[in-house]
Amino acid sequence: MQRVSSYHRGQSFPGRRGERPAPFREFPDRLALIELPAPATTGGPGLWEVIASRRTHRSYGPGPVTLEQVSQLLWAAQGITGKDMRLRAVPSAGARHPFELFLVVNRVTGLEPGLYHYHVPTRSLELLRRGELGAALARAALDQDMMARAALNIALAAVVERCTWRYHERAWRYMYLDAGHIVQNLALAATAMGLGLCPIGAYYDDEVDQLFGLDGKQETVMYMASIGPLP
């Protein structure tokens, strides 16, 4: 069976097309910018212990998570780990790193409820929209009410051109692989801090994209995760 995204021996590979897309999203109309605490890079439980302990959790306690925990989660998911900004905590095909992270905050110490964007270069959160959005996100996610009860939800939104610029149709495979790397790192980081996390791939695509202000074509949500303290 021929696949549009398949490579075949003897074929010539298409080159890069157009100008290189910007590596980061910018939101000049943001409502506020919140600098995150520096993440911890030493200590904590051992890797093998964390892998063995990882579970999917759909029930959360009523308390908040801390800003330090949010910083640690985001660093594990997309944090810069070298002098070159392409060196991140997760692998990415061709170091394209096509994903932007959006947060729906329900209960985070030091943050008001609302929609945020993780600005990787400055390790900051950009407040894009104020208000309680957890219930709306849960409805858009096939009524999975854990998203309304979670302390926060993280959405991975692909900037499609960032990857197709180099890999054309093959980019779609790479973006889904990259999404898996990111959510696994989130799950391990949450486990290491005693938090619960549930990966979420079931949702009404158009409704979720609309909630995050995405067009669903050039930018679209591919994966989400709900996170909260264990009950």
The domains of the chain are located at 43-101+127-155+170-205
Res. 2: pLDDT tops 70: no
CA dist 102 and 125 (Å) reads: 9
pLDDT tens per residue across span 33-53? 999 999 999 999 999 999 999
Count, residues in the chain? 231
* Alpha helices for the chain (secondary structure H): 47-53, 67-78, 134-140, 146-149, 160-167, 171-192, 205-211
Q: Which of 17-21, 121-125, 140-144 has the lowest mean pLDDT?
A: 17-21
CA dist 64 and 158 (Å) reads: 28
Average pLDDT, the chain: 95
User: What is the reported pLDDT for 94?
Assistant: 93
Name the pLDDT band for 14 (thresholds 50, 70, 90): confident
pLDDT tens per residue across span 97-120? 999 999 999 999 999 999 999 999
Architecture field, domain 43-101+127-155+170-205: 3-Layer(aba) Sandwich (3.40)
**pLDDT higher at 212 or 12:** 212
| pTM for the structure as a whole | 0.94
User: What is the reported pLDDT for 3?
Assistant: 64
